[in-house]
Structure 1
């Protein structure tokens, strides 16, 4: 059962709109193909009522109405009235699974609590609503008041309910406790359908669901991206991968190839980013960074495991940065349909490592620019060096540039203003060349490109066309800063002339 729309919405700062809930409900049942969804808590708000009405109306047309569940309360029938208005047919009744909660929150005896639960189940049955029962704080109940839990389960085993839902409400269970407690319950109550609802406070939710399945539980409650209160719930993607790979006797109907798509959509709706290293759905989890890994992948897939990206509708990537080796770059070149000889590949590798040392993010789409920049540098012998410069741009003041230029070993400094930072830089450069009685070519075209689909931190290529003695030529510069890339292109021009 996916409870992203109910328990996941209890993530601090998260609230789905009615249209978002309907969109996700459709994706969860139709595309991801989970068995059931818990979509709301009864009585929360008019907006929640409207959302559930839209979901149940759609679900009814698809024959899914018995797969849509709502959290309800022991409240004398108020929740059931809300359910009827919402058109929902399955309630997950919240009850107390520990003596601590029963005594201090409800201030009732077990007999009083069971009597009220009996009335709630009877009323639901009379209106055609099926009932599952949550034992809130069940994990602490097993630790500290096990006799009460078994008294409660004895009572529930005689009730017309579909499932008993056992939540580790505060996320306190270890894997061994999870196995022991659920094993004991499954063996003692073989006719009850047992669901386990894990929270992730100790980062143990996935290991705990593994032990719950080993112990014989019949259902799991999961959320997309592990959304939920505090540290969240057991994450859907990790749980599905674990069940498929380590439990050959368990059949999982969830469509793995849709996990990443749904994960991205939930992230977009909630505003909660997916950590880059989050298993299965994170941006980095199918990216090889170290050159030795890329090399091994080319030699009998030495660094592959069963978590192949294609299972989840994704592809393997090879990162480019300071730990890149030639193998990483070759993998990216293959995807782009480009080839380089060994000497060219060495130079491109050295440039990527240099960029990585500067903490610049290098992408596959940057590669053609880097190749062009590196190979273009081979067309001249460098004799002119732009050693240093300061660019200023202040409101109300003209942009200015201070420049230190080395020509054939001689260092010259100058300062100039201009209409923009690059114009100020060019004016300073003209002053230097005027002292040497040298003329600069005329700038006739200036173009800036970034890789398609890039962000503001992308590498930027500036292509400048110059005219000298009636002939045009081009120089290119590459940097994450647009003005700096133009200055690099200009330095190449100075060496070409």
Structure 2
């Protein structure tokens, strides 16, 4: 099958920066620009709007200075305006060589915003194009509000295109400025234009107001569009632009007649960097780059993956520099846990695996986040029970009020006999221990001394991670350790103490 090469233009640094509350610094813009061109290998980048600010000017200077050194200057573009050469002067100062000239692509915008006739508008555009040519600046032209122009003033759009076909420009850009097109319209409008002007280069610029950005971009390609404008993470004004990652994945998987140069292996890396710089978080379920999109949660899915990858598709995480994960929680089955154990290099027999699975389900029911890194702690907690459970902490109330000593009321069963006790202490756990000592005095049993108390969480865990408390005890005979596991530090210490009580009773 014959293929045709299309251009991918990234406008994260211009249109994407119009995301509410986002403003990249000059150094952040330069870093992103380098990644887009050198690592992601997009064909072009749109990096700024002319005349915005001194900071924007400096950012463009930094990028063009770098681009000149590395041969990328013709791939760096700036949005400009029909303003009697003011934008051209700004570009020259910034060192840029490609302008994306903003013009009116609908009669509605022309009439009500510019309050001019098409003849007046075209005449001013012609002067801008001539000046750019004289200054050795290459021009692409945006037809702002083109989508509504095609719906409501098609005669004007084709009059405009006929004029542009006679002018010194390289590309004509067709933006769905308000994100109002349907996929059917995107196909039909672009096809009508390409049929009439097959030798002109047309870019399609989709917005995502109806969540149709990717679909519209794909339909535009089917009808002959020569290029697409995309943004990292779908950033942009309102609902944003067509997102880079999912659009690229769709092209690669479903459009064998289209050739693109984008390196999908680094899509995730670039997306995370832009997330960090912009402060706009990637939704967990966002295709290709979201935290959860390559995570199997249901145990039946993990089981299917063990049996000839029944739940795999062509959308493999390795394509994007990612790995498949198997979530641990109340929906987990043994297969999920086995997958995580394999990654950790651990093995359990069937009986122990059943115990660990049950413990993870219990934690999931409490809405606690369970991670792969938690597994060794859970295994240690579950399997570290070589005793008959004769002591059970039934319930407790921990209080800590300003100006009052911490206190605990505890109910505990010892060999089926229940005791209740209240005590105070220097902290909640100290109060708990004082209550327990009072109970065991009645049983004429002396508790061992607590000589070390260590708390840890799995590396890289968050504030809601499971917490393991390891307590070292000493009595007249020996030292020994017990562990407790919970998302609450005090509760994990109480569980470690409960294990200690069972050891001495047994």
TM-score class normalised by the smaller sequence: over 0.9
1:136 aligns with 2:141: no
Q: Which residue of 2 aligns with 1:296?
A: 304
Secondary structure of the structure 2 residue equivalent to 1:231: coil
1:273 aligns with 2:281: yes
Q: Within 5 Å, which residues of 2 pair with 1:291-440?
A: 291-377=299-385, 379-440=386-447
Q: Within 5 Å, which residues of 2 pair with 1:185-224?
A: 185-224=193-232
Secondary structure of the structure 2 residue equivalent to 1:112: helix
Residues in 1 aligned to 2:260 and 2:364: alpha-carbon distance in whole angstroms:
42
Deviations along 1:241-299, one digit per CA (max 9) or x if unpaired, are 01111111111111111100000000000111111110000111111111111111111
Q: Which residue of 2 aligns with 1:113?
A: 121
Residues in 1 aligned to 2:403 and 2:258: alpha-carbon distance in whole angstroms:
71
Q: Which residue of 2 aligns with 1:62?
A: 70
Secondary structure of the structure 1 residue equivalent to 2:322: coil
Residue 349 of structure 1: how far off its partner (Å):
0.6
Q: Which residue of 1 aligns with 2:90?
A: 82
Residue 55 of structure 1: how far off its partner (Å):
0.2
Question: Structure with the greater relative contact order (CA < 8 A, sep ≥ 6): 1 or 2?
Answer: 2
Residues in 1 aligned to 2:260 and 2:453: alpha-carbon distance in whole angstroms:
57
Count of residues in Structure 1 that have an aligned counterpart in Structure 2: 496
Residues in 2 aligned to 1:164 and 1:3: alpha-carbon distance in whole angstroms:
16
Residue 436 of structure 1: how far off its partner (Å):
2.3
Match of 2:463 among 439, 456, 465: 456
Residue 117 of structure 1: how far off its partner (Å):
0.3
Secondary structure of the structure 2 residue equivalent to 1:445: strand
Q: Which residue of 2 aligns with 1:15?
A: 23
Residue 490 of structure 1: how far off its partner (Å):
0.5
Q: Which residue of 1 aligns with 2:5?
A: none
Q: Which residue of 2 aligns with 1:27?
A: 35
Q: Which residue of 2 aligns with 1:170?
A: 178
Deviations along 1:338-374, one digit per CA (max 9) or x if unpaired, are 0000001111111111111111111000000111111
Q: Relative to structure 2, which stretch is displaced further, 157-166 or 379-388?
A: 379-388
Structure 1 unaligned spans of 5+: none
Residues in 1 aligned to 2:330 and 2:101: alpha-carbon distance in whole angstroms:
55
Residue 399 of structure 1: how far off its partner (Å):
1.6
Match of 1:242 among 239, 243, 250: 250
Residue 469 of structure 1: how far off its partner (Å):
2.3
Structure 2 unaligned spans of 5+: 1-8
Residue 156 of structure 1: how far off its partner (Å):
0.3
Match of 1:161 among 169, 180, 186: 169
Secondary structure of the structure 2 residue equivalent to 1:237: helix
Deviations along 1:141-160, one digit per CA (max 9) or x if unpaired, are 00000000000000000001
Residue 468 of structure 1: how far off its partner (Å):
2.0
Residues in 2 aligned to 1:396 and 1:233: alpha-carbon distance in whole angstroms:
56
Residue 169 of structure 1: how far off its partner (Å):
0.2
